[in-house]
A and B are shown apart, each in its own frame.
Chain A
Amino acid sequence: MSIIIKNLSKRFGDFCAVDRVTMEVPHGALVALLGPSGSGKSTILRLIAGLEQPDEGEVFLTGEEATGLPARKRGVGFVFQHYALFKHMTVSENIAFGLEVRKVPKAEIKKRVQAMLDLIQLDSFSHHYPSQLSGGQRQRVALARALCPEPRVLLLDEPFGSLDAKVRYELRSWLRRLHDTVHVTSLFVTHDQDEAMSIADRVVLIHKGRLEQEGTPRELLEEPATPFVRDFLGMPPLDEPHW
């Protein structure tokens, strides 16, 4: 298991954002953390990344205890909803950042950045600044920047959330194909059940800070564990006719 969280809880004041969540992400899988907005799924992702510290519970990354480690020592790649690209750096400089802070030799960095540019098909934009790119291009750069240092796991927070419908659709199938070539264990947050069901190997459904159900998309559709799961996945309740 690449990501294991045990009994994870996080409160903000009186509000319990994450309530004793236990889940696992298998090695090499693409897993969706699905739930309505405000359900606590982004907080779970930030707890795994070390951008928030839990009140209770533990986080394990590739078998090692990571609870209490600062974000910079966890070796995770994180993709933000609004890209969070470094505005004053070019595409190449953004992608190289993670290797530069690790003091990787220059020649090696150059090679890796080039490989990443090929992967995201933005070779001709390497000297552009983020403000000169479209939303979809920015998100691809953000992904390349996160992948470049070869993270143990990749975490994506609503990665397509601020894109228009068409780009969103293209990019999500692109992410699925990318995952099939790179095979990095990935967990992505989304509130769009269609997005989760169509590209994830497994889906974890979160509701009010709690884990509602976990399984393959097919399992969730065929055997919804609670009325909420059934309702959220867009199926009519059993006891009502649906015409």
Chain B
Amino acid sequence: MPEASVPSYGAWHFGPDRWRHRTVTAATLAWFAVLTLVPVGALAKAALMGGWAPFRALAASPDARHAFILTILATAASVLLNGVFGLVLAVLLARYEFPGKAILDALLDMPFAISPVVAGFMLLLLLGPKGLLGHFFEAAGVHVVFAIPGIILATLFVSLPFVVREVVPVLKEVGLEQEEAAQTLGAGPWTTFRRVTFPAIRWGLAYGVSLTAARALGEFGAVLVVSGNIIGRTQTTTLFINQEFADFHFEGAYCAALVLALASMLLLLGMEAAKRFAKGTS
């Protein structure tokens, strides 16, 4: 699809207001750089000071490896579950009327509004050994808190809204007409979704999923409370970084932090590139 041309004031170095434009643009870019690029640069400099040796040490450390695997697991679970349920929830919110919809819509942002540490405590109280639901699980011999299920639940909770919040506006913008057209042409609900609705929202969904993954990779507070931070067992990458730092193992902390930061940035950059590619092809 050819993109509609974006209205603009023209090339920034022409026109009577060019100096004002240049100043505003430069100031904005500088502000953005100070907030984002410079800190990443500082981290990269600190981590790369010792050459590749600290990275090799990190890769050889069983605790670090376990922490990374746990983070990947929690992220994969969030992407999968929040991707599927987020999509269903988005379709419900954008396409159907049901009692309690306004409340659901408002509550959906709760994970954004509540501090992750507080969210962690809520899960702990609910699912801990003496919690409302927790003692059922304990009776069944399933450990939720201070174990991997708790970590996954906490990560699911904090990354819940992204897919819904990205997909609902896209669904609303696409509108009902194409879906109605598919119905009159004989398509059932599933065919309509697969061939008409999904292709229209796939980039919104992909973006929501990328944000979910980035958030899940970086989750700290909720997981800290729920996991118990047991080294080599329930320690995720962010907890590992914090531990290394507290133990004065700065090199390990910097290296692990850089890996995590780069993973998140690659995710978002890859997403942006994919979006451009998609616009170029169809």
Contact = CB atoms under 8 A, between A and B. Distances in A.
A166 interface: no
A145 interface: yes
B36 interface: no
Interface string B160-189: 000000000000000001101111111110
Interface in B39-82: none
Contacts of A74: 184
Contact of B191 (A71, A101, A132): A101
A103 B196 CA distance: 17
A144 to B, nearest CB: 12
A131 B178 CA distance: 14
Contacts of B200: 87-88
Given A86-B196, A88-B1, 16 more contacts: A49-B184, A51-B183, A71-B180, A72-B186, A76-B184, A78-B180, A87-B200, A97-B185, A101-B185, A101-B187, A102-B186, A129-B1, A129-B282, A131-B1, A131-B2, A149-B185
B180 A84 contact: yes
Interface string A122-153: 00000001011000000000000110010000
B184 A88 contact: no
Contact of A86 (B178, B183, B184, B188): B178
A17 B178 CA distance: 23
Given A78-B181, A129-B282, A87 B187 contact: no
Of the candidates B183, B184, B187, B282, the one having the most CB atoms from chain A within 10 angstroms of its own CB is B184
A14 to B, nearest CB: 17
B178 A149 contact: no
Contact of A71 (B2, B184, B282): B184
A84 B187 contact: no
Contacts of A84: 177-178, 180-181
Nearest to A77: B184
A232 B282 CA distance: 46
Given A86-B196, A129-B282, A146 B1 contact: no
Of the candidates A50, A77, A85, A87, the one having the most CB atoms from chain B within 10 angstroms of its own CB is A87
A70 interface: yes
Nearest to B181: A84
B199 interface: yes
Given A84-B178, A87-B200, A129-B282, A72 B184 contact: yes
A149 B186 contact: yes
Interface residues of B, number: 19
A179 interface: no
A145 B181 CA distance: 10
B54 to A, nearest CB: 47
5 contacts: A72-B184, A73-B186, A84-B177, A87-B1, A146-B184
Nearest to B278: A88
A168 interface: no
A73 B178 CA distance: 17
B178 A87 contact: yes
Contact of B2 (A80, A88, A132, A146): A132
Contacts, number: 72
A208 interface: no
B139 to A, nearest CB: 47
Contacts of A88: 1, 199-200, 282
A101 B193 CA distance: 13
A74 B195 CA distance: 20
Of the candidates A75, A77, A98, A149, the one having the most CB atoms from chain B within 10 angstroms of its own CB is A98
A50 B178 CA distance: 15
A10 to B, nearest CB: 16
Interface in A61-102: 70-78, 80, 82, 84-88, 97-98, 101-102
B282 A80 contact: no
A234 to B, nearest CB: 32
B197 to A, nearest CB: 10
Of the candidates B178, B180, B185, the one having the most CB atoms from chain A within 10 angstroms of its own CB is B185
A78 B184 contact: yes
B186 A80 contact: no
Of the candidates A71, A145, A146, the one having the most CB atoms from chain B within 10 angstroms of its own CB is A71
Contact of A80 (B1, B177, B188, B196): B177
A192 B188 CA distance: 34
Contacts of B181: 78, 80, 84-86, 145
A85 B178 CA distance: 6
A129 B2 CA distance: 9
B182 to A, nearest CB: 7
B188 A72 contact: yes
A97 B185 CA distance: 7
Contacts of B191: 101
B251 to A, nearest CB: 49
Interface in B245-282: 282
A170 B247 CA distance: 80
